Homo-oligomer: A and B are copies of this chain.
Amino acid sequence: MRERRYSSTSPEHLAAALFDVAAQAGLEGASVREVAKRAGVSIGAVQHHFSTKDEMFAFALRSLVDKLLARLAEVDQGGNPARGLFSALSQLLPLDETRSREAHVMAGFAVRAATSPSLAEIRRTTLFTIRTRLSAVLIGMGVHEAETRAALLLATVDGLALDAIGSPGLYPPEYLEHALDVQIAMVLHGAEVVPAPSSIELAS
């Protein structure tokens, strides 16, 4: 009977349950007990897949990152590089219910990375990946100081998301979109040439 319960769940299902708990109550509420309850399985079923809470958190963060990176890669760059950057980066802003939940949980993981080496490693790889992709886009557009400006684009989005999650009234969606537009315009200011669409490759 216990075996049946083990086989009736999966790490992915548990990661989804952890995400739901954390989006509602913060990561501090995502105990093994609460995740099991939300997933509708026994505590043993969670422990069957994850021997520690840190392992469960690392799997959940990796799942969330994979989803976000896949969505970034899907963005249709179209012919306008500024719009391509906007579409990609706005995936990371709390512009609707889904992205607000994601931004909240992601910021929680970012803070927890300060005290968890396994989360820090995933976070480091993620930041490096996004910075590198953004940097490649900016280099392709002839933007000066592309690497630093790529890091600034990412920091702006992470910072706007962090500022917005507790103060949605100060940062309504249209305000966030406008702020991102202005930041992109500042970053692209002085770009030598608007390149052909084919040279914009955020998904590489």
Chain A residues packing against B (C-beta within 8 Å): 24-28, 104, 107-108, 110-115, 119-120, 123-124, 127-128, 131, 145, 148-149, 151-152, 154-163, 165-167, 169-171, 175, 178-179, 182-183, 186-187, 189
Contact = CB atoms under 8 A, between A and B. Distances in A.
Contacts of A178: 148
Contacts of A110: 107, 162-163, 165-166
Contact of A124 (B25, B158, B160, B167): B167
Please state the number of chain copies in the assembly: 2
Contact of A162 (B128, B145, B158): B158
B107 A166 contact: no
Given A170-B128, A182-B145, A187-B186, A107 B156 contact: no
Contacts of A163: 110, 127, 151, 154-155, 158
Given A104-B111, A110-B166, A151-B160, 4 more contacts: A123-B166, A152-B182, A155-B163, A158-B163
A25 B131 CA distance: 28
14 contacts: A26-B112, A26-B115, A104-B114, A107-B107, A111-B162, A124-B169, A127-B163, A131-B170, A151-B163, A155-B156, A158-B159, A159-B161, A162-B162, A189-B189
B156 A152 contact: yes
Contacts of A187: 186
Give the residue among A28, A107, A157 with the most B Cβ atoms within 10 A: A28
Contacts of A145: 182
B127 A165 contact: no
Contact of A166 (B28, B113, B154): B113
B120 A166 contact: yes
Nearest to A116: B166
A115 B178 CA distance: 26
Contacts of A189: 186, 189
